[in-house]
Amino acid sequence: MAEYLALSEIEADYFILLVHLERAGTIALKKYYRNKIEILREKSLKISNRIEVSKVLSNEERAVFYSSHIYIAIWLFTSIGKTGKTIDEIAEYFDLPRIRVLEVIRFLHETNLCVEQNGHYKMGTQSTHIEKGSPHLLHHYRNWRLLSIQKSETISDEELMYSAAVSLSKKDFEALREEMVSFIKKFLKTAHESPAEEVAYLNLDFLRVR
């Protein structure tokens, strides 16, 4: 049945547990399956369990890759165009010294995140992900949020920046969080399948104020 419905492993387990819960004949057994379902639901909310990873960087590589947003920005920029980008094109686009671009490109090439063809650099590996709890995650968050602060005074009408503080029920908080996790998955799928024409980024925070 799970194969027929094209369910993922987590979704199939969830479906089976729901069936067992429905068939459970005692209060204790129902409680057991409810606990199992809750554990699985929490697991499914972890984005790292719902995103396919193409490249797993070593800790040393992550320390470099997430030290500045420019590594990711240049990596993405090399996905634009059929022939990739030259060092000079990258330096001009990001207004960076050529020596800095060479440093970044050398790293991207050594880690197979970029490939070189006749002096042009193209994206190699197409996605990476930092799992929750990684010590490099804070740097990743910080890099892009600092960039947003820098860009906040020059944001164009085509771009979007939004902040809102609200009060809401615990139930709605959980429901909205689940919707946002689903949106992130859809966002990444759309971006992955979209022809590369621009480099953009998304920051999304949904936090309790304490």
User: Does residue 155 carry a pLDDT above 60?
Assistant: yes
79 and 196 Cβ atoms separated by less than 8 Å: yes
130 and 141 Cβ atoms separated by less than 8 Å: no
List, in sequence order, every beta strand (DSSP E) within the chain. Answer: 114-117, 120-123
Quick check: helix, strand or coil at residue 80? coil
17 and 36 Cβ atoms separated by less than 8 Å: yes
84 and 95 Cβ atoms separated by less than 8 Å: no
What angle do helix axes 69-77 and 98-110 make, rounded to 10 degrees? Answer: 80
Residue 103 CB neighbours (<10 A): 15
Q: Which helix (H) or strand (E) holds 10?
A: helix 9-23
User: Which pTM does this prediction carry?
Assistant: 0.68
Distance CA 91, CA 158 (A): 25
178 and 45 Cβ atoms separated by less than 8 Å: yes
Q: What is the band of 137 on the pLDDT scale with cuts at 50, 70, 90?
A: confident
Q: pLDDT > 90: what percent of the chain?
A: 47
Quick check: helix, strand or coil at residue 85? strand
Token pair of 124 as six digits:
């190699």
Phi and psi torsions of 117, nearest 5°? -140, 110
What integer pLDDT is reported at residue 192 of this predicted model? 81
How far CA 14 is from CA of 7, 79, 136, 174, in Å, comes to 10, 37, 31, 18
Pick the CATH number of 59-193 from 3.30.420.40, 3.40.50.300, 1.10.569.10, 1.10.10.10: 1.10.10.10
Beta bridge partners of 142: none
Q: Which of 47-51, 134-138, 141-145 comes out lowest in average pLDDT?
A: 47-51
Q: Which residue has the tokens 């197409």?
A: 126
Nearest to 160 by CA among 204, 120, 110, 121: 204
> How large is the C-alpha radius of gyration of the chain?
21
Task: Enumerate the domain spans of the chain.
Answer: 9-45, 59-193
For 6-49, what is each residue's pLDDT tens digit?
445 566 676 677 777 777 788 888 888 788 877 776 666 554 55
What integer pLDDT is reported at residue 3 of this predicted model? 40
Hey, what amino acid is at 89? E
What integer pLDDT is reported at residue 54 of this predicted model? 61
